[in-house]
Chain A
Amino acid sequence: MSPASSFITDSFALAGQLTWLPEIRANIPQIKLDARTNILLGTVLVLLFAAYIVGRVLKRQPESTANPAVVRTFNLRVRAWWMMFSILIAGFVMGYSVTLVLFGVISFWALREFITMTPTRRGDHRALFWTFFLFTPLQYLLVGLGKEFYAIYTVMIPVYASLIIPARIAFSGDPKRFLERTAKIQAGLLICVYSLSHAPAILSLDLTDSSKNPWDLSAAATNNAGTLADEMPPTEPAISAAPPLPVVKVAKEPGSNAGLLFYFILLVQLNDVFQYGWGILLGKHVIAPQINASRTWEGLIGGCLCTMLVGTLLFWATPFEVWEAACISLIVAIMGSAGGITMSAIKRDRGVRDYGTLVQGHAGVLDRIDSLCFAAPVFFHITRFFFTQWS
């Protein structure tokens, strides 16, 4: 047999082994929006409009009645929320893959800001190239392949990237401040890419309630229909028309993963606002003046309690019971605050005020998602551990 023909037969054999590909495709979750998610989205939309109008009105006020710096911050925030909201909705409408790509782009931008701020040396160049163009897309690709790849996408960056990056830097032969440089790149990758990718990963879970009764509408629908054809987000009538679930007792009416992801992002963003608000209203005891002069214990506690309250009140949009929602939203709030203060510390170390002012005119993506990055893995793991069926 000639080498060419053996190559061809080998290729066919390999192609034969690739029959598992469609199976993976079938595992790629679909996004369905249920009625309650739509209500949640609608409410937030109305609130955003209200915030936008308030911002507009405040902008026109004379300086004596409204502090222009606060108004400016507020308007910037509102604009960032519009962006976030539109990105999420666009993702939800266009499907799981698009949502992942959008989150991937946000990670890429955030990492870019992080590395720009961090001094690196010539010898890091190749390692940085792999960080941006291999590890970042690969992480989102693995998350995109669905929950079956959980074991890989949760270790790819913390284990493999963390080993490959220092090795690559060592090969380029510059020992100066080696450990420090390595750690900076690893930290950037871990916070901006790895942590954030856990947020869209929520979409791939087969959610149940805490007694392991299926809750996830899309998984149930996909399993029953068995096709990938219908990607239309069903509206209210589809709920009543949804096929009966093959379970004896459904403790909670099924909802959608997209709703849960939205619930999570909403909580983290609200937490930021509450912290800021309480800090302005009552703030006296600054937590760490050298790190951030505006973060106070009053803001932290008030913010976390308010977030907990809202998270509890919104329990109907999630697979959680009331008390579960309260605990989880408290944890999300604490992690979000931790993220904010950690990123402040990194900024202070580098002597920049906002990632946005790093290079003028760029909106600081990292400023907006820092708390999200810290809360995402915790929320994902709690949800996966207690609220999915796993063996």
Chain B
Amino acid sequence: MLSGATVRWHEIQPDPCQRIYFANHTSHLDALVLWSSLPRPVREVTRPVAAKDYWSKDPVRRYISSCFNAMLIDREEIKVHQSPVDVMIREIGLKYSLIVFPEGTRNRDEEMQEFKSGLYYLSKKRPDLELVPVYIDNLNRVLPRGEFLPVPLLSCITFGPPMWLEPKESKVEFLKRAREAVRRLKEV
């Protein structure tokens, strides 16, 4: 409502099958808006991944993150067999889909940052998951980094055709291709 988001499905249909939605990250509202733009049956099995240190800081944030069924991942304490990717794979089981922001943190300017490797390891361990690129447009103007009062501008969320990790594809190549897939949705 607040962001007046338009949702477009480009060469893809909403489906409650297991997917990983990966998007550019520009605003705190990203996960929230992306999650609410999914149709209800899909939304019920989709969990945004969020930073534990930020989202469990106070009761309000804990409440918000529980509303969205968020999966809180510890960014600081990473143990053997407890890496974020392991935790995610264990948590989703054979049911849930995930929303991830491979840039790792909200970017400050227009251009997207390099993707972090989590997406690669996720798809290496679970090659059956559909990787769905999502481009979020204009939300950084609704609520930019460091602001807490939103401005009600119109925004747009575009879902793109799914991709998979190709056999023998290197990490760098894959991440580049994934980033390009998100960036390309800006033009469609």
Contact = CB atoms under 8 A, between A and B. Distances in A.
Interface of A: 108, 112-113, 115-116, 120, 122, 125-126, 128-129, 132, 358-362
Given A126-B149, A129-B149, A113 B154 contact: yes
Contact of A360 (B141, B149, B156): B156
User: Most chain-A CB neighbours within 10 Å: which of B8, B141, B150?
Assistant: B141
6 contacts: A116-B153, A358-B154, A359-B4, A359-B155, A360-B156, A362-B154
Given A115-B153, A116-B141, A116-B154, 13 more contacts: A112-B4, A112-B154, A115-B151, A125-B149, A125-B151, A126-B149, A129-B149, A358-B154, A359-B4, A359-B156, A360-B6, A360-B8, A362-B6
A113 B138 CA distance: 12
A116 B4 CA distance: 11
Q: Which size class do B's interface residues fall under?
A: 10 to 19
Contact of B141 (A108, A120, A126, A361): A120
Contacts of A358: 154
Contacts, number: 41
Nearest to A111: B152
A112 B152 contact: yes
Contacts of B102: none
Contacts of A125: 141, 144, 147, 149, 151
User: Most chain-A CB neighbours within 10 Å: which of B138, B147, B153?
Assistant: B153
Contacts of A113: 154
Interface of B: 4, 6, 8, 138, 141, 144, 147, 149-156
Contacts of B153: 112, 115-116
A358 B138 CA distance: 11
A108 B4 CA distance: 12
Contacts of A112: 4, 152-154
Contacts of B152: 108, 112, 132
A76 B105 CA distance: 42
Contact of B138 (A116, A126, A128): A116
Given A116-B138, A125-B144, A362 B4 contact: yes
A224 B185 CA distance: 65
A236 to B, nearest CB: 42
Ordered nearest first, which 8 A-B pairs have the shortest CB separation?
A116-B154, A359-B154, A128-B151, A359-B6, A116-B153, A129-B149, A361-B6, A359-B156
Majority DSSP secondary structure for residues of B touching A: loop
User: Most chain-A CB neighbours within 10 Å: which of B150, B151, B152, B155?
Assistant: B151
Nearest to A109: B4
A122 B4 CA distance: 20
A210 B121 CA distance: 80
Contacts of A116: 138, 141, 153-154
A240 B154 CA distance: 51
Contacts of A359: 4, 6, 138, 154-156
A115 B138 CA distance: 11
A212 to B, nearest CB: 44
A358 B156 CA distance: 10
A361 B141 CA distance: 20
B160 to A, nearest CB: 15
B1 to A, nearest CB: 12
Nearest to A129: B149
B76 to A, nearest CB: 29
A130 to B, nearest CB: 9
User: Most chain-B CB neighbours within 10 Å: which of A108, A122, A129, A359?
Assistant: A359
Nearest to B109: A122
A122 B143 CA distance: 10
A220 B104 CA distance: 67
B81 to A, nearest CB: 42
Contacts of B144: 122, 125
B151 A132 contact: yes
A359 B150 CA distance: 19
A132 B156 CA distance: 20
Contacts of B150: 129
Contacts of A122: 144
Contacts of A126: 147, 149
A108 B153 CA distance: 10
B14 to A, nearest CB: 15
Contacts of B154: 112-113, 116, 358-359, 362
B139 to A, nearest CB: 12
Nearest to B155: A359
A5 to B, nearest CB: 37
A113 B155 CA distance: 10
Nearest to A358: B154
B154 to A, nearest CB: 4
Contacts of B4: 112, 359, 362
A358 B153 CA distance: 11
Contacts of A362: 4, 6, 154
A372 B143 CA distance: 31
A310 to B, nearest CB: 35
A358 B4 CA distance: 12
B40 to A, nearest CB: 19
A126 B149 CA distance: 8
Contacts of B147: 125-126
